[in-house]
Amino acid sequence: MLDARVLRQETDQVAERLARRGFAFDRERFESLESERKRLQVETEALQARRNAESKKIGQAKAQGEDIQPLIAAVGELGEQLDSTKQRLAEIADELEEFLAGVPNLPDEDVPVGEDESSNREMHAVGEIPSFDFTPRDHVDLGAGLAGMDFEAAAKLTGARFVTLAGPVARLHRALSQFMLDMHTEKHGYTEVQVPFIVHADSLFGTGQLPKFADDLFRLEGETPWYLIPTAEVPVTNLVRDEILDRDTLPVKYVAHTPCFRSEAGSAGRDTRGLIRQHQFEKVELVQIVPAGDSERALEELTGHAETILDALELPYRRLMLCTGDMGFSAAKTYDLEVWLPGQEKYREISSCSNTRDFQARRMHARTRGGDGKPEAVHTLNGSGLAVGRTLVALLENHQCANGDILIPKALRPYMGGLERIEARA
């Protein structure tokens, strides 16, 4: 949510920056809603002030045993007026709220302007793209060869876009999560948190998934509107909702390992092979809550933490700065990390690290005290560190041998009981 005051005072600049990301800000509608809101609010509050004063008189008169009937009659008509302006004010306020809730964040000044991923800017590429003296297989074939990945079984249980893992591959998947958690808690200073995988609508509003992106979510049946989390960003960031955080507790750095559930509505036909795009996947998520003014540095740091994992797993990757048109709703600036997949001969997203500045904090009323002691919105950041399923894919494809064996990178061996390679079925 943008700062309403800034929006009012610098409407032109805001509209221009929103246009960069392809969002047409309806300034006429905003200004008419806003002026109507102001008119009704002033009117309503004046009426309330009058009513309060009159009612107070009644109280005093009554205390002195005077006749209060004439006074009551005098206030009588105030009530009706108040009811109607109050109601109109509530309607306008709701409309305005809805309008503002649908406006995305402002892109940072250094974010490249563009419509789609073709305008993303590569920042750097790390690691060498492996060359094989055989035709590398993709993870689906490799997984089958290891008897460790079964899409048909999952389809039997549930449907498309699910998978079952088995044996060493299942263990590898677990090892990756553990490794990431340990790295971030022991080396990068994050506090591990375990959170609910089901949240209510307020939490999803706070991080920006609602109201606009309900179609991407799984909603549970039942009287309470509950949703499966699409990312740990939702429950973890919302830990600070409605809080005024002590300055000296910042930065708050959380890491959480959770499943993520996405409906993938609108992705029909895309990435249908393999476990690149699943309805359920696991992710180790990094979240930082920092004072305003510290978030640019924090984004570099957090993205670096995610890259550390790729380095340790000896996976080649590159970092992109997303252009304005490719960024998510809540982001002011986003780095995507893309890992090289020999099976596709392409880089594919494995992490997305965003600075939302005060956009989410404002929606969820997460604050700290500034230098003047007054509450001010914190800044929130999040990033995958990393998506576990896709990391498994990258690991299988990059560390495969001609015979289908998989070499376990050194950093991971302690988590695999010392195992150096997973052997393909004879």
Partner RNA sequence: GGAGAGGUGUCCGAGCGGUCGAAGGAGCGCGCCUGGAAAGCGCGUGUACGGUAACCCCGUACCGAGGGUUCGAAUCCCUCCCUCUCCGCCA
Minimum distance between the CB of residue 38 and RNA, rounded to whole angstroms? Answer: 5
293 closest CA partner among 348, 248, 242, 251: 251
Minimum distance between the CB of residue 233 and RNA, rounded to whole angstroms? Answer: 23
Q: How far apart are CA 149 and CA 171, in angstroms?
A: 12
Q: Is residue 390 flagged as an active site residue?
A: yes
104 closest CA partner among 351, 381, 363: 363
Q: Which residues bind RNA (CB under 7 A)?
A: 4-5, 38, 41-42, 44-46, 48-49, 51-56, 58-60, 62-63, 68, 72, 75-76, 78-79, 224, 367, 374-375
For RNA, give the closer residue by CB, 55 or 178.
55
For residue 332, give Cα distances in angstroms to 106, 304, 355, 381.
6, 18, 6, 10
Which candidate in 203, 295, 352, 384 is catalytic? Answer: 352
Which candidate in 34, 37, 390, 397 is catalytic? Answer: 390
Q: Is residue 348 flagged as an active site residue?
A: no
Which candidate in 37, 137, 161, 262 is catalytic? Answer: 262
Q: How far apart are CA 319 and CA 295, in angstroms?
A: 18
For RNA, give the closer residue by CB, 84 or 267.
84
Q: Is residue 318 flagged as an active site residue?
A: no
Which candidate in 8, 27, 219, 277 is catalytic? Answer: 277
For RNA, give the closer residue by CB, 1 or 323.
1
Minimum distance between the CB of residue 237 and RNA, rounded to whole angstroms? Answer: 19
For RNA, give the closer residue by CB, 264 or 376.
376
Which candidate in 95, 349, 376, 423 is catalytic? Answer: 349
For RNA, give the closer residue by CB, 54 or 349.
54
Minimum distance between the CB of residue 369 and RNA, rounded to whole angstroms? Answer: 7
Q: How far apart are CA 19 and CA 35, in angstroms?
A: 23
Q: Is residue 349 flagged as an active site residue?
A: yes
Q: Which amino acid is at 250?
A: L
Minimum distance between the CB of residue 137 and RNA, rounded to whole angstroms? Answer: 40
Minimum distance between the CB of residue 55 and RNA, rounded to whole angstroms? Answer: 4
Exposure of 195 in the CB half-sphere (CA atoms within 13 A): 29
For RNA, give the closer residue by CB, 130 or 370.
370
Report the catalytic residues. 262, 277, 349, 352, 390
